Amino acid sequence: MAKKPKEHKVDSIWGEKVDQIVHEIETAQSQNVTVEEILKNTYEYLKQEPCLTIHVIEALVRIPNPETAQILIGMMAEAEERLVIKSIKRTLYKLRQKGVRWEEKPSKDEPVLRPPKPEGPMGYLGTIDSTGSRIIVVARTQPLRGLLVVLSIVNDLEGIQRFSLKEFSKKGFKEFVKSSLSSIDFPIVDTPGAYCIHILKEAASLTQGLSKPLPRGYHDAEREFKDIAWDDPTPIIYQYIKKDEVKDRPHLLKESVNLHKTMPFSTWHIGGPEVEKYASRITEAQQSKIVLSADQKEAHLNAIYRDALQELFPEEKRFLWKRRLEEMAYILLKTGKEEEAKTTLSAAIDLNNPFSPIDPNPFIWNLLLKSIYILIEGDYEEKEKEEKTSLIVTP
């Protein structure tokens, strides 16, 4: 006695959804909707609920006609999972048993049903923090399986810091990005997926250049997105704001000093160890018992600041901060802050040139001063705390 094929059970909630999908397919057929359009709409349902795929395939036996067979053939052309293909073949066999006939091969060179090409990847870029770290998200539709999502944190000095590969439903993914990754002060903006992959590859190259292993799952993602390329080597902001719009505009460059009053620039600073030497020299100069005129004291302090500027920002570091500003200009533009974006880009373009000893880049000059005085004030508060503690008399 032949073994009866295993039936896929479905609970009442899923059963209602399957019935709804099958009913809509049947209704569309009665209204002479094309097979291609029906297939497209069916894919949209199953992308949201990929677990229903096999149940819907098996339920299509309820609509015994050639159009149903063509829908199944189209699904099989796109399917990759063995169980899905097996289910389609079983349902086609049942339709044939019911007397349904269809063309095995289309008469034209191209198939009658061409499943939609995989959608290009969606991408999201996060705001850059003071250390040069940011979130990168890339998501791509998997036929009948929801979204494959890359979640990563990259740093322009360290490469890939965190990396994971996950699956989401389309609805769940949008909610996750909105509720878990983005905030008012550190927004995440939609970006061409190809550009996000380009940034991720840059980070991977940096990771390898530092003789560090690439994170687990990275090569899987690389294979998944191997057909995606970003051909333009320049930062994406230049597709929206041309250099000539902001280059050699003194008022924009001058205004860049005020960016430090806004997020996220107000949190940007140079690390303590880098500015510690200059903070100590400033403190010594301010506390010196040598009598100097106001002009002499100011000249002495400015000499320390300019030493710090030259030593902390060689060409390589200038270009690092230039790239950070270019990327942030895009974030600002995408969040509706066009003027701030142009101001930021103006400061970035100015960093192509060595610093002027008389009038250095306003954004970087203010960044340097701010960073030094953050350290000085921190040291002062720590010493003041220690002095107060030493005055406490213990019983």
Type of residue at 152:
S
Region 156-176: mean pLDDT is: 89
Tell me: do 92 and 148 sit in the same domain.
no
Tell me: do 147 and 62 sit in the same domain.
no
pLDDT at res. 174: 81
With a cut of 90, say whether residue 159 has pLDDT above it.
yes
Residue 167 backbone phi and psi in degrees, to 5? -115, 140
In a domain, 188, yes or no: yes
In a domain, 3, yes or no: no
Region 356-372: mean pLDDT is: 90
pLDDT at res. 297: 74
In a domain, 153, yes or no: yes
Of 61-75, 110-124, 208-222, 283-297, the range with the lowest mean pLDDT is: 110-124
Neighbour order of strands in the sheet with 159-168 = 159-168, 146-155, 133-142, 122-126, 188-192
Indicate the residue among 233, 255, 277 that finishes a domain: 233
pLDDT at res. 111: 45
pLDDT at res. 282: 84
With a cut of 70, say whether residue 7 has pLDDT above it.
no
pLDDT at res. 113: 43
Region 36-62: mean pLDDT is: 84
pLDDT at res. 302: 80
Nearest CA-CA partner of 130 in 392, 324, 327, 359: 324
pLDDT at res. 171: 81
Region 211-220: mean pLDDT is: 93
With a cut of 80, say whether residue 9 has pLDDT above it.
no
Tell me: do 258 and 356 sit in the same domain.
yes
In a domain, 108, yes or no: no
Task: Quickly state the pLDDT bin for 264 (edges 50, 70, 90).
Answer: very high
Tell me: do 165 and 268 sit in the same domain.
no
Cα separation, 132 vs 322, whole angstroms = 12
Q: How far apart are the first and last CA of the chain?
A: 95
Tell me: do 37 and 130 sit in the same domain.
no
Residue 162 backbone phi and psi in degrees, to 5? -140, 150
Question: Which helix or strand (DSSP H or E) is residue 208 part of?
Answer: helix 193-209
Tell me: do 378 and 267 sit in the same domain.
yes
With a cut of 50, say whether residue 161 has pLDDT above it.
yes
In a domain, 116, yes or no: no
Tell me: do 161 and 181 sit in the same domain.
yes
Q: How many CA atoms lie within 13 A of 64 on its CB side?
A: 9
Q: Is residue 197 within 8 Å of 230, Cβ to Cβ?
A: yes
Nearest CA-CA partner of 150 in 130, 171, 183, 177: 177
Q: Positive or negative CA dihedral for 327, 331, 332, 333?
A: positive
Tell me: do 223 and 251 sit in the same domain.
no
Task: Quickly state the pLDDT bin for 120 (edges 50, 70, 90).
Answer: confident
Long-range contacts of 2-11 (CB under 8 A, 24+ apart): 5/90, 7/58, 8/54, 8/55, 8/58, 8/87, 10/52, 10/55
- pTM, two decimal places: 0.66
With a cut of 50, say whether residue 75 has pLDDT above it.
yes
With a cut of 70, say whether residue 292 has pLDDT above it.
no
| DSSP SS3 for 42 | helix
With a cut of 60, say whether residue 382 has pLDDT above it.
no
Indicate the residue among 97, 132, 147 that finishes a domain: 97
With a cut of 60, say whether residue 394 has pLDDT above it.
no
Region 45-70: mean pLDDT is: 85
Please list the residues that pair with 391 across neighbouring strands: none
pLDDT at res. 359: 86
| DSSP SS3 for 353 | coil
Cα separation, 291 vs 206, whole angstroms = 50
Tell me: do 327 and 370 sit in the same domain.
yes
Region 355-384: mean pLDDT is: 80
For the record, the structure tokens of 299 come out as 């000249």
Task: Quickly state the pLDDT bin for 109 (edges 50, 70, 90).
Answer: very low
With a cut of 80, say whether residue 355 has pLDDT above it.
yes
Of 200-204, 267-271, 316-320, 380-384, the range with the lowest mean pLDDT is: 380-384
Region 114-140: mean pLDDT is: 83
Of 113-122, 141-150, 168-177, the range with the lowest mean pLDDT is: 113-122
Tell me: do 133 and 214 sit in the same domain.
yes
Q: Is residue 228 within 8 Å of 92, Cβ to Cβ?
A: no
Tell me: do 226 and 252 sit in the same domain.
no
In a domain, 349, yes or no: yes
Indicate the residue among 184, 205, 233 that finishes a domain: 233
In a domain, 395, yes or no: no
Number of domains in the chain: 3
Cβ of 261: how many Cβ atoms within 10 Å?
9
Where in the sequence is the domain holding 156, given as residue range(s)? 122-233
With a cut of 80, say whether residue 73 has pLDDT above it.
yes
Cα separation, 1 vs 199, whole angstroms = 60
Question: Which helix or strand (DSSP H or E) is residue 224 part of?
Answer: helix 218-224
In a domain, 48, yes or no: yes
301: left (phi over 0), alpha (psi -120 to 50) or beta: alpha
What are the tens digits of pLDDT across the range 16-41? 888 888 899 999 888 888 888 888 88
Tell me: do 373 and 274 sit in the same domain.
yes
Task: Quickly state the pLDDT bin for 266 (edges 50, 70, 90).
Answer: very high
What single-letter DSSP state applies at residue 261?
A: G
pLDDT at res. 308: 87
What is the 3-state secondary structure of 133-198? EEEEEEEEEECCCEEEEEEEEEECCCEEEEEEEEEECHHHHHHHHHHHHCCCCCCEEEEEHHHHHH
With a cut of 90, say whether residue 224 has pLDDT above it.
no
